[in-house]
Amino acid sequence: MAIQRFMQVGSLDDALQELSVHKEQALLIAGGTDVMPALRSGLYAQKQMVIDLSPLAGKLGNIRHEEDMLHIGPLVTHSRIMEDPVIREFLPILAQASAHVGSPQIRNRGTIGGNIITLAACADTVVPLLALDAQLVFARVGGVRCVPMASYLDEGETRFDASNEILTDIMIPLPNSNRQGMFLKIARRQAAAKSRMSVAVLTTIAGHRITDARVVVGALMPWPRRVGEAERYMMGKAIGEVDPMKVGALAAELAITVTGQRRSFAYKIPVVQELMRRAVTRVLGTQGEA
Amino acid sequence: MPDEDHVTVGKAINRKDGIAKVTGATVFGNDQNAYRQLHMKSVYTHYPHVEIESIDLSEAWKVPGVVDIIVARDIPGNPILFGRFPVLVSDRARYIGDAVAAIASESAESAEMAAAAVCIRYGKQFDVLTTVDQALAPDAPMIHHDTQGNRIDYASHHLHDGNAEAVIREAPKVIRHSYATQFVDNGYIEPEAVITEFDPNTDTVVIRGTIQNPYNIREALAKVLDRPLNQVRVIQSGIGGSFGGKDESMMFIASRAAVLSLRTGRPVKAVLTREESFMASAKRHPITSNYEAGLDENGRLLAIKSLHHMQGGAYNKQAMFANWRGSIHAAGPYAIPHVCTDIHGVHTNTIFGGAYRGFSAPQVVFGIESFIDECAEAVGMDPVRFRLLNCVKPYDRLPTGQVLDPAFMPANVADLIELVCSKTDFEKKWERNRIARTEVGSTSVVAGIGLSITFRGVGLGGEGIDTGSATVTIDADGKVRVQSGFTEMGQGLSTTLCQIAAEEFGIDSTWVTWSQNDTAENMDAGPTVASRGIVSGGNAVKDACGKLRKRIEEVLLPKWMAPEGSTLHFSDSAVYAMTPDKELLNRIGFAEAARICLKGEGISLRSLGWHSPGPQYFDHESGQGPAYPSYLFGATVAEVEVDQGTGVIVVKRITSAIELGKAINPQIVRGQFIGGAIQGMGYALMEEMDCSDGYLHTRNFDDFLMPGAMDIPPIDIIISETDVHVGPYGAKGIGELGIEMIAPAIANAHANATGKRIRELPLNLERVVLGHAL
Ligand SMILES: Cc1cc2nc3c(=O)[nH]c(=O)nc-3n(C[C@H](O)[C@H](O)[C@H](O)COP(=O)(O)OP(=O)(O)OC[C@H]3O[C@@H](n4cnc5c(N)ncnc54)[C@H](O)[C@@H]3O)c2cc1C
């Protein structure tokens, strides 16, 4: 079945209404940078109509700052994220990740919402969003639900009901303490290439001790994951007590536990350890100086 | 008084096709449509090596819009093209791009639906041979029943000079290493497109499309359609890149579409998707090379022996030519008393190799120039001193027996090495990197610098007869049209050929217009390949212009009663009659001169220019003889940063010095060189195609990565012009030199940075970290 209809909606309610009527047959499109190649390759054979979300940019395309919470609309593009002053100042690892997405053309069209929903193993913004405790707001006809990023990922195939729900908000708590983070990405060329691997490390320091640590890897497992063991290992330690190699080793261990040995691990395991070592050294080094 | 210096030649005039290209006005293949056209889709095999029992078209015929479907038995003429390529297969598929049927329908969508509805019943699955080793194994099944052990017909070549084997046996120092390269796509942005039509008025089949080599396609189509050459007419459309590639794939779609056009009486349009183009177009052939060298105590090369195997795929129409070029170049531009080179082509059940910029040079230059660095290291010399000691100098003898006579082959490669090395401070950096790498951890980012040199035979040489054509017409307003059997495909030939005509007539280059090739208009100039457009096409333009100048002279001098021995000069858009005492007799505008000839005297101002170096006398058994009329020379330095912890290599700078005779248009020369260098970087670092089980897994540009804007470093080019007498004004061609030195320079830089040697391309993330592919 090919796409028969292209529909633009006037309001979020209309969009939800249409979705609830057409369900599996409807395909939401935001920037289209994931949808269009997938459509062409025959991935959406059962879809009959496209619902274009872009007219909702007025409502779903803003970055708002409310008390200690930053709200990013799902239609916000990577270009805007990487340039937003609040994100650059308080959530720099998200700005870094968005800056690594594709090329300027892709960043001008591609949205954070699309990146989250497609949830490729190499989805770049998902890595910092996981570290930053982002919450996702999903709307459906007659209600909304708010899901922490981590549980959205853990829910696997049932995480999101594409035939009923629309992502309407991404909420990120803003830090009020000495927090440092780093996002690193490795790809086969310097732009417009998917991550071969990515990592994010985020630590909060009080009195030279690590009071909070987030360690995330991307493109190593079916989707990005926090490395709980590594976070627990770092937590409570003085900066000088952390062995950055150990953090990498724990990330490697997690990957092997989750997926078993894979052929690509011959390369990925040593490299994730090295990336972790670099990120941890850099993050703690900066905080050590502060 | 007209001056003797060149006015237009040597200047960076704007490209003839520039404005149309940058404004998006250029008409490319897919922009062409015809009234009542049908759309064609090919139906491909599902398995790479399989017996085909039957093809059931009944469901496909039911798809609304379908007008015609052809299978192999519907081909009116010869169903097998040169290189064993079938137009359609009937009983056996030998690679994943083999097509069994072609459908013509009212829309592209319905043609695609019908293609999907074709039911192919398969019989026996044959072993899928995907590597040279598998195909050459003594018990390997035969891909074609009548080849010698899966060897490609006529693709074995030899260059034997002296007694390399014996010398290596006795040599004080012996070094052996092997190198391997991969399949890569030409990566043109525009996929193949063609539109075929039968013209009943002239009983001619007309083919328009993105065709690099119109005469190849004409010849192939004449055979397939069983028609004489003069009833097949090929008209080239705008081409969005080709680099050698738009040849076999054009042959397939043009021949299928033409058969459908003849049957339906309607125009048929065929456009490949990127996936189809990747699957069924030529790739750069992979070559594995085993090198052995014998050296004396002072680091002098005594002998090099090498054995190369080129992977051809299921069918091949280029290995026989590319391997000949490879055999001449495999030992590099070095003065080596004993050389023994053997090269073979091998069929496999994979995608096939063909022409891609460089045509076997990128593969063998990667091998020999990596090997030369390893030889230098083995004798404790730096790569610069080692090359300076061993490279050819003027009057040296090449292993083909050719003597490097500076009038034709300047052989200034030592100067070029010194130029690039002093410009980059090579030796100091090279030494510093060697020390620095030992002082840092094994996952650090380290710097490297690498050198490579090359020589490149000009034109086809002994591959075939190197004739070229051009037709030059002067109209009554003095404006000039240049036509040629050579094609413009983005390389800039239309501009440089017009520039030559402008120079010859002393007129402004804006007075000269180019027309895209049409085989009904132009003499067969052979294929536009081997960087030969400027030499063969340029000489033909000069020839045509010279004949026209003579005609004008023969009209005007008698008319003006010029004394015996007077001459006519063309300059400043005017013609000057000069007496033997160099006195100005008369001067009129060029346009006026044209008008007098055409309208007053009734003299034709159209001329066919022709260039022919004559037949080549080359001994193909031993590889002895004048392989090429001349050679280009080059030296390149690549500077890189290698992140040993992640495998990322960043190229920081490329510096090249090139000897090319004369740059007709320095801007186009730079463009050609830089374009080639970037493709060379892709070849070195990231491009590869996975066909390891016979299926093509690299299907589009998301997997087949080529360098992007962010990857491209500053590229410095030092153009060294020499006075040689080969092409027009001394030009020798620059289309391919840019690509071939880059991969070895980067590999050598990587070795300098890390102390580790990677002998397989590409130097991707995994090879840099692990030393081998995953
Ligand atoms: C050349 C190229 C390079 C790329 N490089 C990168 C890269 O480096 N890193 C990276 O992470 N990604 C990359 N991508 C992937 C893509 O650009 C990103 O994932 C992008 O963020 C997708 O956003 P979009 O708005 O284009 O999504 P769309 O294609 O419009 O939609 C993607 C999916 O999300 C759904 N969707 C969109 N919005 C909503 C919503 N509000 N509610 C519910 N469902 C929704 C759609 O139905 C669809 O399933 C690349 C893509 C291309 C083509």
Model pLDDT, residue B199: 97
Name every chain B residue with its beta carbon within 8 A of the beta carbon of A190. 650, 708, 710-711
Name every chain B residue with its beta carbon within 8 A of the beta carbon of A191. 708-711
> Phi-psi category of A55—alpha, beta or left, where left has phi over 0 and alpha has psi -120 to 50?
alpha
B58: buried, middle or exposed (CB in 10 Å: 19+, 13-18, 0-12)? exposed
Name every chain A residue with its beta carbon within 8 A of the beta carbon of B647. 186, 267, 271
Does the C-beta of A39 come closer than 6 Å to ligand 1?
A: no
Model pLDDT, residue B3: 38
Smallest Cα distance from B686 to chain A, Å? 7
Place of tokens 């009209």: B555
User: Which of A98, A115, A160, A186 to probe ligand 1 with, by most ligand atoms within 8 A of CB?
Assistant: A115
Whole-angstrom distance, CA of residue B727 vs CA of residue B531:
11
* Ligand 1 center from residue A56 Cα (angstroms): 17
Residue B637 near residue B173, CB atoms below 8 Å: no
Which secondary-structure segment (H or E) carries B387?
helix B383-390
- Helix then strand then coil, % of chain A, to nearest 5: 45, 25, 30
Place of tokens 């010398």: B167
Chain A interface disruption, residue of B678, B765, B772, most A CBs within 10 A: B765
Whole-angstrom distance, CA of residue B575 vs CA of residue B468:
28
Task: Tell me, rounded to whole angstroms, the distance of Cα B529 from its chain centroid.
Answer: 5
**Is pLDDT of A156 > 80?**
no
pLDDT digits (tens, 9 = 90+) for B146-194: 999 999 999 999 999 999 999 999 999 999 999 999 999 999 999 999 9
Whole-angstrom distance, CA of residue B190 vs CA of residue B434:
44
Closest residue by Cα to residue B512 from B15, B11, B12, B5? B15
B325: buried, middle or exposed (CB in 10 Å: 19+, 13-18, 0-12)? buried
Name every chain B residue with its beta carbon within 8 A of the beta carbon of A275. 645-646
Question: CB under 8 Å to A154, separation ≥6 — which residues?
Answer: none
Does the C-beta of A194 come closer than 6 Å to ligand 1?
A: yes
Model pLDDT, residue B4: 53
Q: Do B764 and A193 touch (CB under 8 A)?
A: no
Q: Do B774 and A264 touch (CB under 8 A)?
A: yes
Q: Count of alpha carbons within 13 Å of B660, Cβ hemisphere only?
A: 29
Model pLDDT, residue B2: 37
Distances (CA, A) of A218 to B190, B259, B685: 34, 52, 23
**B645, B710, B774: residue with CB nearest A190:** B710
Whole-angstrom distance, CA of residue B386 vs CA of residue A163:
69
Per residue in A25-44, is it b (16+ CB within 10 Å) or e — as a string?
Answer: bbbbbbbbbbbeeebeeeeb
Mean residue pLDDT across chain B? 96
Whole-angstrom distance, CA of residue B12 vs CA of residue B15:
9
Mean pLDDT by 10 residues, chain B (774 residues): 72 96 96 98 98 98 98 97 96 98 97 98 98 97 96 97 98 98 97 98 97 97 98 97 97 98 98 97 98 97 98 97 97 98 98 97 98 98 98 97 92 97 98 97 96 96 91 98 96 97 98 96 94 95 98 97 97 97 97 98 97 84 92 97 98 97 96 97 98 97 96 97 91 94 98 98 98 94
User: Which of A11, A28, A130, A197 to probe ligand 1 with, by most ligand atoms within 8 A of CB?
Assistant: A28
Chain A interface disruption, residue of B646, B705, B769, most A CBs within 10 A: B646
Whole-angstrom distance, CA of residue B243 vs CA of residue B230:
28
Q: Do A190 and B711 touch (CB under 8 A)?
A: yes
Neighbours of B57 (CB within 10 A): 20
Distances (CA, A) of B265 to B198, B325, B490, B535, B621: 6, 43, 33, 41, 49
**Would you call A70 helix, strand, or coil by DSSP?**
strand
Closest residue by Cα to residue B606 from B500, B521, B495? B521
Closest residue by Cα to residue B552 from B659, B472, B435? B472
What residues of A are in the B interface, CB distance below 8 Å? 2, 37, 103, 186, 188-194, 196-197, 263-264, 266-267, 270-271, 274-275, 277-278
Model pLDDT, residue B764: 98
Task: Tell me, rounded to whole angstroms, the distance of Cα B568 from its chain centroid.
Answer: 40
Distances (CA, A) of B727 to A153, A286, B408, B470, B536: 66, 63, 10, 14, 7
* Ligand 1 center from residue A128 Cα (angstroms): 16
Alpha helices in B474-537, H assignment, sequence order: 493-505
Model pLDDT, residue B1: 34
Closest residue by Cα to residue B765 from A276, A186, A256, A129? A186
Residue B278 near residue B698, CB atoms below 8 Å: yes
Parallel, antiparallel or unpaired: strands B92-93 and B50-56: antiparallel
* Ligand 1 center from residue B278 Cα (angstroms): 25
Whole-angstrom distance, CA of residue B547 vs CA of residue A277:
74
Angle, alpha carbons A25-A29-A35 (nearest 5°): 85
Does the C-beta of A51 come closer than 6 Å to ligand 1?
A: no
Question: CB under 8 Å to B66, separation ≥6 — which residues?
Answer: B60, B103, B104, B105, B106, B110, B111, B114
